[in-house]
A and B are shown apart, each in its own frame.
Chain A
Amino acid sequence: MRIRHICSGSRFIALVALFFLFIPFSKSFAGTKTPSDQNPSVIITPDKQFNYAENLFSHHDYLTAIMEYKRFIHFFPEDKRVERAMYQTGMSYYLGGDFNRAVDSFQKLIDEYVDTDDAIQSYFKISDAYMKLNAFDPAIINLNNLILVAHDGHVRDEAYYRLGWIYLETASWEEGRQYFSKISVKNKDKYRLETLSAELEKEKLIPKKNPKLAGFLSVIPGAGYLYCERYQDALIAFLINGALIYAAYESFDGGNPALGGLLTFVEVGFYAGNIYGAVTSAHKYNRKKTGLFLERLKDNVKINLSADVKNQGVCLSFKLGF
């Protein structure tokens, strides 16, 4: 009786042991997998997140890179690379061509980090973004603000150099020269100011047409175009205006004032158009010649600046002027 009791007791223990032994298998056999079993959890560290964003940025996938930099800033706000992530967000907008958002992004960085390297580069990039938007005044104001807050002389010199170039872009040669002259002596060689001022002197040699003279000459139809070196336009303007004036005169002379009035109506437009076109042609001529001069100046004298995208890396270049 006692033996049977012991046997049943050991059988009971063995059953309990077996029960616990099969518990882990029972879950998988029953097909009741938890989500964590199906998708093994990946722990994203700040390094992984930042490197992923950087990888997207380096592969020019700027739209996704922006999302990932923002995710990094949101989940790891205490990380020391948050400032860099904010700068890279601005750069992603800038390189993606969304210059307005780039300005907002860089401005946000400046508001949080006042005098850091990235904040200073942000000032420069804001001015670049404004230039891309053809908004010269905000670009100038932004760089003047930087000059006020910057403690480093090199930064102020770069701001002066950039301001000088912005004025040159608008063909304001004197203002450009003034800003170049504010660059400190120690940086004059770095910015090749001697060569720049020598090249700038050639600005006086840019061929120009006087728009007022072009308009005045157009009193004789086509003469204004002729002055602006548009020979075919000049001939056509002369022939059309001459023909219409003659036709209007003949209509009135032949007792047909209605036709004469209509022709006069049309002729007034063509005559005014001939004057307007000559004035515009003179402006276009000046714009083109100034643009060519500036392009040549940039190619020969302008140096790569600290915030330039091209300036990331080491290269050896050789240029032969001729």
Chain B
Amino acid sequence: MKIRLGFIIGCAILNVCWSGACARQEMNLTDHPKGLDVAAEKQESPLLYPFKFYGDYISSVDGDRCSMYPTCSQYCMEAIQKQGPLTGWIMCSDRMMRCGRDETKLSAPVWINGEKRNYDPVSNNDFWRQ
């Protein structure tokens, strides 16, 4: 039992350390002089690949069903790009729990391609940290 508990805690610590390292790496990318910003932007974090894969190959077949705007996958990518992998991943998990429930009554409605969505951008969820 102790070994299992230790393994769980170990996994969690490793996870946090890995995310922290990725965050530092991403920060270094944005520290470049202005001229190199374009190159840095093009060099996407590998953490975004699953979301891109989901958007390109799963969501396009499965259908656009997210009731929020931006959609959860787009939100996750923006959160990771803006806040780094650790906080971005936490914000992403939070969004997936909130998607389509109480937020639909609280956020402002927007119409995207004739469909009603609820506007919940990253800035609406990290304003208190700035």
| A residues at B contact (CB < 8 Å) | 211, 225, 230-233, 236-237, 240, 248, 252-253, 257, 260-261, 264-265, 268-270, 272-274, 276-277, 279-280, 283-284, 287-288
Contact = CB atoms under 8 A, between A and B. Distances in A.
Q: Which of A230, A240, A273, A274 has the most chain B CB atoms closer than 10 A to its own CB?
A: A273
A280 B94 contact: yes
B8 A280 contact: no
A246 to B, nearest CB: 13
Contact of B101 (A233, A273, A276, A287): A233
Q: Which 9 A-B pairs have the closest CB atoms?
A: A273-B93, A273-B94, A277-B94, A232-B101, A283-B128, A230-B102, A269-B93, A252-B4, A272-B90
Nearest to B91: A276
Interface residues of B, number: 27
Contacts of A225: 102
Contacts of B93: 269-270, 272-274
Contact of A253 (B4, B95, B96, B102): B4
Contacts of A277: 94, 97-98
Contacts of A274: 93-94, 97
A264 B16 CA distance: 12
B89 interface: yes
A270 B11 contact: no
B102 A273 contact: no
A166 B15 CA distance: 44
A248 to B, nearest CB: 7
Which one of A230, A236, A269 has the greatest number of beta carbons of chain B within 10 Å? A269
Interface string B70-99: 000000000000000001011111111110
Given A236-B97, A277-B98, A268 B15 contact: yes
A288 B106 contact: yes
A276 B94 contact: yes
B7 interface: yes
B33 to A, nearest CB: 24
B53 interface: no
A277 B128 CA distance: 12
B65 to A, nearest CB: 17
A264 B92 CA distance: 16
Main secondary structure of the interface of B (DSSP, over half): helix
B4 A233 contact: no
B98 A233 contact: yes
B12 interface: yes
B128 A211 contact: yes
Contacts of B125: 280, 284
Contacts of A232: 101-102
Given A237-B97, A273-B93, A274-B94, 5 more contacts: A233-B98, A236-B101, A252-B8, A268-B16, A273-B96
Interface string B95-130: 111100111001000000000000000001111100
Nearest to B126: A280
Contacts of A253: 4
Contacts of B15: 264-265, 268
A240 B106 CA distance: 22
26 contacts: A211-B128, A230-B98, A230-B101, A232-B101, A233-B98, A233-B102, A236-B98, A240-B97, A248-B8, A252-B4, A253-B4, A257-B4, A261-B11, A268-B16, A269-B92, A270-B97, A272-B93, A273-B90, A273-B96, A273-B97, A276-B90, A276-B91, A279-B128, A280-B94, A284-B124, A284-B125
